[in-house]
A and B are shown apart, each in its own frame.
Chain A
Amino acid sequence: MPTSTSTRAPVEAPASVRFARRRQPARWLTAGAALVLAAMFAHFLITNPRWDWRLVGGYLFSADILRGLLNTVLLTLISSAAGLVAGVVVALMRLSDDPVLRWVATAYIWFIRAIPALVLLLLIFFLGALLPKLSLGVPFGPEFLSVPTNRLISQFSAAVVGLALVLGAYSAEIFRAGILSVPAGQLEAATALAMTRRQRLRRVVLPQAIRVIIPPLSNELVTMFKNTSLVSVVGYTELLTTVQLIYGRTYQTIPLLLVACLWYLVLTSLAMIGQRCLERRFGRGFAAGRPGKEYSR
């Protein structure tokens, strides 16, 4: 029914009209399905006697388990710190003008990506078989200092070196992506303000790159907690190895694996809380409100 402005009939005053919310019947369905699944899972956890919750409770804070947990945390912290430093250095090498640095960094990342972490750990632990002694000196020339490899490589140091090498390669790509995500104009403005290369990187590029880096990097760090369990192959007594040692003796496999799972859940929760704080801190100046909201339907 075509109408022109002049002949249009007066419309009812909008004051009496109300706006309803859009009905979302599908949400009731998804919520219902989620509830049923959750109930089923809870039922399974509570009623199945083979979980043996009393035993789980008994082991959860036992001295052996806590010692294993402490070792896991220690291993994670030390190898993460070393791995992240390696990651930043390798990322900067890959972004460098120097073709040799770029090539070396790429080769490192290629190698670590190709070798499973488990194999790498074993290789490092058994380095003594390949190189009976490690020495410091002029390449192909005289040696100043020489140590038997097996004295240098303990279960702990093999684990740290292996895990740090893995994290270094994976986090390098994350750092590189973060640095590349900062618009070129930011760097140009910093250059025009007479900042040196170091100042541009530290004051302008990295603070903005971190915002992009945090989610994938948190992923890597949480993976790190769990990668520490690979270390059981070299016999370092972190959480999983401890648990395995106990159920190897007592055959209480399921309850003890549950103990390990509970502690991994706790550690991961702590890491995720940390991630949230960091995201809030480095999100300053970027989209306000809940991040990612604009992508919801």
Chain B
Amino acid sequence: MTFLRLSGVRKSFGPLEVLRGVDLDVGRGEVVCLIGPSGSGKSTLLRCVNHLETVDGGEIRLEDELIGYTRKGDTYYPLGDRAAARQRRRFGMVFQGFHLFQHLTVLENVVEAPTRVLRRSRGECTEQAHELLASVGLAEKHAAYPRELSGGQQQRVAIARALAMEPDVMLFDEPTSALDPELVGEVLGVMRRLAQRTMTMIVVTHEIGFARQVSDRVAVMDGGTIVELGTPSEVLGAPKHRTTQVFVRSLGERT
């Protein structure tokens, strides 16, 4: 039943313990929003899931496949470059800062990974890219360079680029935090439609409204652990933990 399983994940940066044993199960097609004050470890946790960060303890499994390591006896050995890259094909990631390839057009951004990494034919990928761009409302912009687009448009291209790899899990790292307020809606709209198409999603966000309406479960992080986990109505409607109460109230004023 469990699709993606995080067990006892720990991570330190030098003396700073960022994750102190995080457990989280995500079902196939489930949307989980990670909320919590800044510095609580949300982004780091997300980056551990596709092994952009190494972990110092615990493990992450996607359909029982250990991510980032192989286990021999009691020892975890880090995967090599190629094996790690192969595992990352199953994860799509969207960043706060978009990170579109600046030297490539919108279309080339979307086509790059499927043709180079999956070695699919250029014609097939181009066709798919045009469909994806249309689905995020940017069919006309295929020949533009990232710099010529607004933040909201860039982020929608970034989502299309990640989807072009046909991932099993989409990871969103504060996808709307760098956007002007009037552009947030267009990106959340794309994510909402994606959730309806039963994509498995983990979303680090400060958008309480989105978490309430779209997510199946909300996880609240504080000090490197998940302090509260439940349905949006449980967690956001009747928060039990003090952090959640304070946090939801402070954000509630905005939305």
**What residue in chain B is nearest A195 (Cβ atoms)?**
B117
Asked if residues B165 and A185 are in contact (CB atoms below 8 Å), the reply is no
Asked if residues B89 and A285 are in contact (CB atoms below 8 Å), the reply is no
Residues 188-207 of chain A: 1 if any B CB is under 8 Å from the residue's CB, otherwise 0? Answer: 11111111110100011001
Give the CA-CA distance A183 to B103 in the complex, in Å. Answer: 12
B147 lies within 8 A of chain A by Cβ? yes
Residues of A within 8 A of B92 (CB): 192
Asked if residues B116 and A185 are in contact (CB atoms below 8 Å), the reply is no
Give the CA-CA distance A191 to B158 in the complex, in Å. Answer: 14
Q: Given A186-B101, A208-B102, A285-B102, do A196 and B95 touch, yes or no (CB 8 Å)?
A: no
Give the CA-CA distance A208 to B105 in the complex, in Å. Answer: 13
Residues 43-78 of chain B: 1 if any A CB is under 8 Å from the residue's CB, otherwise 0? Answer: 000000010100000000000000000000000000
Residues of A within 8 A of B134 (CB): none
Asked if residues B99 and A199 are in contact (CB atoms below 8 Å), the reply is no
A286 lies within 8 A of chain B by Cβ? yes
Asked if residues A195 and B50 are in contact (CB atoms below 8 Å), the reply is no
Q: Given A185-B97, A208-B103, do A194 and B112 touch, yes or no (CB 8 Å)?
A: no
Asked if residues B103 and A207 are in contact (CB atoms below 8 Å), the reply is yes
**What residue in chain B is nearest A182 (Cβ atoms)?**
B102
Asked if residues B93 and A203 are in contact (CB atoms below 8 Å), the reply is no
Asked if residues B112 and A191 are in contact (CB atoms below 8 Å), the reply is no
Give the CA-CA distance A190 to B91 in the complex, in Å. Answer: 12
Residues 155-192 of chain B: 1 if any A CB is under 8 Å from the residue's CB, otherwise 0? Answer: 00010011001000000000000000000000000000
Asked if residues B89 and A185 are in contact (CB atoms below 8 Å), the reply is no
A284 lies within 8 A of chain B by Cβ? yes
Asked if residues B95 and A189 are in contact (CB atoms below 8 Å), the reply is yes
Asked if residues B113 and A194 are in contact (CB atoms below 8 Å), the reply is yes
**What residue in chain A is nearest B90 (Cβ atoms)?**
A194
Q: Which bucket holds chain B's interface residue count?
A: 20 to 34
**What residue in chain B is nearest A283 (Cβ atoms)?**
B103
Give the CA-CA distance A188 to B88 in the complex, in Å. Answer: 12
Residues of A within 8 A of B100 (CB): 189
Asked if residues A191 and B105 are in contact (CB atoms below 8 Å), the reply is no
Give the CA-CA distance A76 to B146 in the complex, in Å. Answer: 39
B86 lies within 8 A of chain A by Cβ? yes
Residues of A within 8 A of B103 (CB): 207-208, 211, 282, 284-286
Residues of A within 8 A of B145 (CB): 284-285
Asked if residues A193 and B104 are in contact (CB atoms below 8 Å), the reply is no
Residues of A within 8 A of B165 (CB): 193-194
Asked if residues A194 and B105 are in contact (CB atoms below 8 Å), the reply is no
Main secondary structure of the interface of A (DSSP, over half): helix
Q: Which bucket holds chain A's interface residue count?
A: 20 to 34
Asked if residues B101 and A192 are in contact (CB atoms below 8 Å), the reply is no
Residue from the list A183, A193, A211, A287 in contact with B112, Cβ < 8 A: A193
Residues of A within 8 A of B112 (CB): 193, 203
Asked if residues A186 and B102 are in contact (CB atoms below 8 Å), the reply is yes
CB distance from B225 to the nearest CB of A (A): 25
Residues of A within 8 A of B85 (CB): 191, 194-196
Interface residues of B in 97-127 (CB under 8 A from A): 97, 99-105, 112-113, 116-117
**What residue in chain B is nearest A189 (Cβ atoms)?**
B99
**What residue in chain A is nearest B102 (Cβ atoms)?**
A285
Asked if residues A191 and B86 are in contact (CB atoms below 8 Å), the reply is no
Q: Given A185-B99, A208-B103, do A191 and B147 touch, yes or no (CB 8 Å)?
A: no
Give the CA-CA distance A29 to B162 in the complex, in Å. Answer: 57
Residues of A within 8 A of B93 (CB): 189, 192
Interface residues of A in 247-297 (CB under 8 A from B): 282, 284-287
Residues of A within 8 A of B81 (CB): 196-197
Give the CA-CA distance A194 to B67 in the complex, in Å. Answer: 13
Residues of A within 8 A of B86 (CB): 194
**What residue in chain B is nearest A211 (Cβ atoms)?**
B103
Asked if residues A191 and B88 are in contact (CB atoms below 8 Å), the reply is yes
Task: Give the most central of A189, A190, A193, A197: most B CB within 10 Å.
Answer: A193
B242 lies within 8 A of chain A by Cβ? no
Residues of B within 8 A of A191 (CB): 52, 85, 88
Give the CA-CA distance A183 to B101 in the complex, in Å. Answer: 10
CB distance from B167 to the nearest CB of A (A): 9
Asked if residues A185 and B113 are in contact (CB atoms below 8 Å), the reply is no
Residues of B within 8 A of A185 (CB): 95, 97, 99
Residue from the list B88, B97, B116 in contact with A192, Cβ < 8 A: B88
CB distance from B102 to the nearest CB of A (A): 5
**What residue in chain B is nearest A198 (Cβ atoms)?**
B81
User: Could you list 6 A-B pairs, sorted by A, with CB under 8 Å?
Assistant: A189-B99, A194-B86, A196-B85, A203-B116, A285-B146, A285-B147
A188-B95, A189-B158, A211-B103 are known; give 15 further A-B pairs, CB within 8 A.
Answer: A189-B99, A191-B85, A191-B88, A192-B52, A192-B92, A193-B162, A194-B89, A194-B117, A197-B81, A282-B103, A284-B103, A284-B145, A285-B104, A285-B146, A287-B147
- What 7 A-B pairs are tightest by C-beta distance, nearest first? A189-B99, A192-B93, A285-B145, A185-B99, A193-B113, A194-B88, A194-B89
By a beta-carbon cutoff of 8 Å, the part of chain A in contact with chain B is: 183, 185-186, 188-197, 199, 203-204, 207-208, 211, 282, 284-287
